[in-house]
Amino acid sequence: MLVTLQKSIYSIEAIRNTVYWFSKNFEILISEQSDVFELSCVEFSEKNKKEFIQSLNDFSLREQINIETKDVKNLVVSKAFYPDLVKFKDIGEFDDPINILKRNGN
Amino acid sequence: MEINTIRKEFRKFQKLQFYDDLESNSFSLLPFNFKRLNSGRQLIISMVGDYLIVPKGTVENLLKKNIDNIDEDLYYDLLSNHIVSDSKDVKSLELLANRYRAKKTNAFNFAQLHIFVITLRCEHTCQYCQVSRVSQNKEKFDFSHLNLYKGINLMLASPEKNITMEFQGGEALLAFDLIKDAISYTKDKARLVNKKINYVICTNLAPINDEILEYCKLEKILVSCSLDGHEELHNENRKRPGRNSYSLVEKGLNLSFDIVGRENVSALMTTTTLSLEHPIKIIDEYRKFGFNSVFLRPISPYGFATKNKNSNYQTIEFIKFYSKGLDYILELNRKGEYFKETYTAILLKKILTAFSENYVDLMSPSGLINSVIVYDYDGKIFLSDEARMLAQMKDFTFQIGTVNDSWKKLLNNPIIEKIGDAGVNDYMAGCSTCAYNIYCGADPVLHHATQGDMYGFRPDSSFCQRNMSVLDIIFEKIDTEPDALDIFKSWVNNE
């Protein structure tokens, strides 16, 4: 069975993550055309294909979350492991999350 | 004085307008992952382990920034659980970094558990034992005094102030005199370096007697024994001449309760093929002895155990056994009896609190070095008990040296660096996108043993299958059984 996926909609990262979890039971080949990725799997039934697409859609959401949050994640992990190396504020600056100091003219 | 004034002002609520404005402000996503529950609802888990069960479509709405489709209460839940942020200020991430650091506290520690395999001798021939059995008469399978003292010196030269020294076997009590020598030596030396040592003896209870227990009471030693279940099952699993292992445990447990007190005695079970049909009988056996918990523990796929038919079962069979057991335990709690399943409680601490649990299998970075060190009877040093079991199959991958080495040499072993890579699940294939990774571990030793690769292939990993299934069961219960969360909270709070 051949599954054709538009490159503008599905990222290769989401496709690879999905293929990874299906590769225990299926041999899936990924090939690339100009606008699409083609996935071929001889053993796929219609049911398998449906499950694959459902999983792919979830991995696409996860990839979107990853793209939007990976910088924050790296920053938080860096700060957690190297608290003195990664400074979120200058030394001596009072932590003022709701701008009390600014409003008081300090 | 000035600072106090400012702090007081911090505590004030803002004018109502301030909070109204927040709703109209745009929000950004913080790192989280999700999975779908059977009810159709979505389980969202933040990077620090806070979770929310949300209506179907919430994740999609969050990604589209479609705030109109998100209920107001849900929006504030998402904010307070660190799923979204309404602040563009990088400083607001400080709290998240502190929370993450708290979850990963173990990564900053050195081993607190130092296991001494005091002897390999044993009078049991348990069918699932991970080490080869050695008859009682071979004194060469005991720790030599010289190696023992060298091992203790290493333990005391390690950085942690509070250390647990655990004596294992074989049957540790067959070398009781050696244990006494070890404790005497440790006590004198520990005082000089200002360390607090807690002692544990793991035993099958067969050799226990008044003299041993009086000594345990004097030295405040915890007694940890093996109890596999009811008499028939226990005797079948734990064979010894006379087929009387159970009656010896029964006698030994009651004597231990009398002399060292219930609070200083614990029991562990191992699940064999024979156990799979009897989760309720096993739990009832623990209740019979007055325990208020049981650890439904699968067999470790190492060493001698892999050669026995009663040690080989599929993970799915274990999960059925665990699930049936957990259902029964929850029913006991509903009837007013406080009783918990230990593995579930370890995971619940990670799910319901800001902290983690010092349990080697479920640590990322891996608990090897950070949590446990094993000194084998012949002076070899391993990264975990499982690593020692592997060595029984002539696989010394996780041996870092011997008691003759210095910590500098031991920690320079190349395997330490490999574990550094293969022991962090945040960046491993299959784990990095898993909603459960903050609760889970990596277990490079198990993957090396079962798949020949420390990184492991998750879709075919018994470790992954077990932990995902157990966590699925926990969250399905929280989602669909109204009183399950209250019971789970009571396990975490020990009340």
Contact between chains at B31 and A65 (C-beta distance less than 8 A): yes
Per-residue pLDDT at B389 exceeds 90: no
**One domain, residues B184 and B256:** yes
Looking at the structure, tell me whether residues B260 and B196 fall in a common domain. Answer: yes
Asked whether residue B432 is domain-assigned, the answer is no
Last residue of a domain, one of B356, B385, B414: B414
Written as one letter, the residue type at B220 is K
| DSSP string for B256-273 | HHHHH-GGGEEEE--B-T
Question: Pick from B414, B434, B457: which residue ends a domain?
Answer: B414
Of A20, A65, A80, the CB nearest to B29: A65
Residue A25 lies in a domain: yes
A105: in domain? no
Regarding whether B384 and B262 lie in a shared domain, the answer is yes
CA distance B426 to chain A (A): 11
| Domain encompassing residue B318 | 110-414
Q: Does one domain contain both B60 and B177?
A: no
Task: Write down the pLDDT at residue B454.
Answer: 94
Cβ contacts of A61 on chain B, cutoff 8 Å: 34, 59-60, 63
Domain count, chain A: 1
- Same domain membership, residue B155 and residue B94: no
Is the residue at B316 inside a domain?
Answer: yes
Clarify whether residues B321 and B337 are in a common domain.
Answer: yes
Whether the CB-CB separation of B44 and B59 falls below 8 Å is answered with yes
Residue B331's CATH number: 3.20.20.70
How many residue contacts between A and B have a Cβ separation below 8 Å?
A: 90
Q: Are B168 and B377 in contact (CB under 8 A)?
A: no
Same domain, B99 and B228: no
Domain limits for position A55: 2-81
A89 contacts B63? CB cut-off 8 A: no
Within-domain flag for B253: yes
Contact state of A65 with B33 under an 8 Å Cβ cutoff: yes
Would you state the structure tokens that stand for residue B438, as one six-digit string? 């903050």
Residue A88 falls inside a structural domain: no
Q: With beta carbons under 8 A apart, name residues in chain B contacting A104.
A: 6
Question: With helix as H, strand as E and coil as C, how does chain A read?
Answer: CEEEEECCCCCHHHHHHHHHHHCCCCCCEEEECCCEEEEECCCCCHHHHHHHHHHHHHHHHHHHHHHHHHHHHHHHHHHHHCCCCCCCCCCCCCCCCCCHHHHCCC
pLDDT tens digits for chain A (106 residues)?
Answer: 889 999 999 999 999 999 999 999 999 999 999 999 999 999 999 999 999 999 999 999 999 999 999 999 999 998 898 877 766 654 445 555 555 555 555 4
Which tokens in the block code for residue B396? 């010394």
**Does the residue B255 lie in any domain?**
yes
The model's pLDDT over B424-443, given as tens digits with 9 standing for 90+, comes to: 998 899 999 999 999 999 99
CB of B21 within 8 Å of any CB in chain A? no
Which helix (H) or strand (E) segment holds residue B320: the answer is: helix B315-334
Give the integer Cα–Cα distance in Å for B464 and B255: 40
pLDDT tier for residue B68 given thresholds of 50, 70 and 90? confident
Handedness of CA B90, B95, B100, B101 (dihedral sign): positive
Residue A7, domain member (yes or no): yes
| Domains: count for chain B | 2
Residues B274 and B331 reside in one and the same domain: yes
Is position B228 within any domain? Answer: yes
Mean pLDDT (whole number) for B69-93 = 87
Q: Does residue A106 lie in a domain region?
A: no
- How high is the ipTM of this complex? 0.85
Q: Is residue B458 part of a domain?
A: no
A93 in any annotated domain: no
**Residue B236 domain flag:** yes
A83 interaction partners in chain B (CB closer than 8 Å): 97, 101
Helix axes B315-334, B484-492, angle to 10 degrees: 90
pLDDT given for residue B132 in this prediction: 56
Q: For residue B18, what is the nearest residue in chain A, using CA coordinates?
A: A98
Asked whether the beta carbons of residue A72 and residue B93 sit closer than 8 angstroms, the reply is yes
Does residue A102 lie within any of the structural domains?
Answer: no
The token duo for B84 is 């979204």
- Coil, strand, or helix at residue B308? coil
Q: Is the pLDDT of residue B419 over 70?
A: yes
The reply to whether A87 touches chain B by the CB within 8 Å rule is no
Is position A104 within any domain?
no
B467-487: per-residue pLDDT in tens?
999 999 999 999 999 999 999
Residues 332 through 351 of chain B touching chain A, CB cutoff 8 Å: none
Whether B39 has its CB under 8 Å from any CB of chain A: the answer is no
Do the Cβ atoms of A80 and B101 come within 8 Å?
A: yes
User: Using the beta-carbon criterion (under 8 Å), do B33 and A24 form an inter-chain contact?
Assistant: no
Contact list, A81 vs chain B (CB under 8 Å): 101, 104, 107
Predicted pLDDT of residue B355: 87
B170 and B293 in a single domain? The answer is yes
Residue that is last in its domain, among B103, B124, B143: B103
Tell whether B488 is covered by a domain: no
